[in-house]
Amino acid sequence: MVTAVFPGSFDPITRGHLDMIQRASRLVDRLIVAVMVNTSKQPLFTMTEKVAMISDELTGLPNVEVQAATGLTVDFMASVHATVLVRGLRNEQDFGYERDIAWMNKSLDETIETICLIAQPPYAYFSSSLIKEVAKMGADVSKYVPTAVAKKLHQRLGTDQHD
């Protein structure tokens, strides 16, 4: 049985993330979405909030689960007996970044294999950070994030979208 981990800060989860999760879930027996801490960013949502938002969006994928994780990804992977790390690539800059992370992870644990999925065109042009910037200005972001997530994002930022 192949267990994979798809790690990220998911602050917030985007439609691009969800596409990657759905696609990765077809490649492995068990996929764990690991909600991690990105030490270089100040999160908008708590770990508990992110786990709940992601779990709500993944109810139709029986082989996918969501877990909060801290520390090194390879340590988390060892704790859940995962051998495959799934990452997404949007552009050339992502490739260089992900290549370096894959090499570091391999040097920390030689059993880890990294699989990179290429983002599909509608999702390759935006990030959670960019979506938060647009939402701060009051724009509707529901085409980039699930509707329930967009509502929570606007509530958190004080830019509620009134129906």
Catalytically active residues are: 17, 41, 90, 128
Q: Is 82 exposed, middle or buried (0-12, 13-18, 19+ CB in 10 A)?
A: buried
d(CA 115, CA 137) in angstroms, rounded, equals 36
DSSP E strand boundaries for 38-160: 64-68, 84-89, 113-118
d(CA 89, CA 77) in angstroms, rounded, equals 20
Q: Is 145 exposed, middle or buried (0-12, 13-18, 19+ CB in 10 A)?
A: buried
